[in-house]
Amino acid sequence: MYRDQFNFKEAKFRIQSQLPIQYKKKLADKIIDNSYETDIFKEQVNKLL
């Protein structure tokens, strides 16, 4: 919020306005999940290269 100079209400609206992640996944050609350890993330990237 601080970076973009949003107040709480504006930030919440922005987040709620985003498309659901499941919808975005259906549109994607490739997906990299960066919620794991760095090694797993790098492995995913290398597979896509």
In the chain, where the domains are located:
19-48
Q: Given 3-state DSSP classes, what are the helix, strand and coil percentages for the chain, each rounded to the nearest 5?
A: 55, 0, 45
Residue 1: pLDDT band (50, 70, 90) is low
- Token readout for 5 is 């100079």
For residue 36, give the 3-state DSSP assignment.
coil
Instruction: Note the pTM of the prediction, 2 decimals.
Output: 0.55
pLDDT band at 2 (very low <50, low <70, confident <90, very high): low
Mean pLDDT of the region 32-46: 92
Indicate the pLDDT class of residue 29, thresholds 50, 70 and 90.
very high
| pLDDT on residue 13 | 92
Closest of 25, 5, 9 to residue 17, by C-alpha = 9
Q: How distant is the alpha carbon of residue 21 from its chain centre?
A: 8
